[in-house]
């Protein structure tokens, strides 16, 4: 499984923790899209990179992290083909996959500690899309990109 990941300065420490956790699984390959330090930076530059890797099929899933998670989620959702969900608890991580077939998650470092972030990521990556009635709804969401 290939995962893209990005953060701004506010999410840098949490990103590093999540990368370390992901790399414990030999079946996961991680592409770090930056930022690579704690200096103030513009999150859209990094969030777009991670989302685009998913959109273009180079990565299976993406993870974006900033202070609240909101800016990165908004950024990722501007990339065609991306369905990014802000997840600050396990229930959100599960249901964004079950019902929305999310392919990117955003995490707010201000609200989520390292342990919870790793649990959120694990839940997101191991939950399968339910399909069924949810296919129709996801198709309706994705059709908005053509308008």
Domains of the chain and CATH, by start: 2-146 (3.40.1400.10)
Instruction: Please report the pLDDT score of residue 15 as a whole number.
Output: 98
Instruction: Please report the pLDDT score of residue 13 as a whole number.
Output: 98
How far apart are alpha carbons 66 and 7 in whole angstroms? 6
Instruction: Quote the Cα angle for 118-131-144, to 5°.
Output: 90
Instruction: Please report the pLDDT score of residue 146 as a whole number.
Output: 87
Catalytic entry in 9, 21, 99, 134: 99
Who's near 5: CB < 8 A, 6+ residues apart? 15, 18, 19, 22, 30, 31, 32, 33, 50, 62, 63, 64, 65
Whether pLDDT at 30 is above 90: yes
Q: What percent of the chain has pLDDT over 90?
A: 99
Distance of CA 81 to the CA centre of its chain: 13
Whether pLDDT at 28 is above 90: yes
Whether pLDDT at 81 is above 90: yes
How far apart are alpha carbons 144 and 88 in whole angstroms? 26
Residues 34-44, mean pLDDT to the nearest whole number = 97
pLDDT grade, residue 48 (50/70/90)? very high
134: annotated active-site residue: no
* pTM (2 d.p.): 0.97
């Amino acid at each position: 499984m290939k995962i893209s990941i990005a953060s701004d300065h506010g999410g840098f420490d949490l990103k590093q923790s999540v990368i370390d956790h992901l790399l414990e699984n030999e079946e996961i390959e991680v592409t770090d899209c930056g930022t690579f330090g704690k200096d103030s930076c513009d999150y859209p530059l990094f969030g777009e990179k991670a989302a685009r890797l998913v959109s273009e099929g180079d990565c299976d899933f993406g993870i974006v992290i900033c202070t609240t998670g909101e800016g990165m989620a908004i950024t990722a959702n501007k990339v065609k083909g991306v369905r990014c969900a802000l997840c600050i608890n396990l229930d959100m991580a599960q249901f964004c996959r079950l019902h929305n077939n999310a392919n990117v998650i955003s995490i707010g470092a201000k609200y989520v500690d390292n342990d919870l972030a790793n649990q959120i990521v694990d839940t997101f990556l191991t939950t399968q899309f339910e399909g069924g009635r949810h296919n129709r709804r996801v198709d309706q969401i994705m059709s908005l990109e053509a308008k």
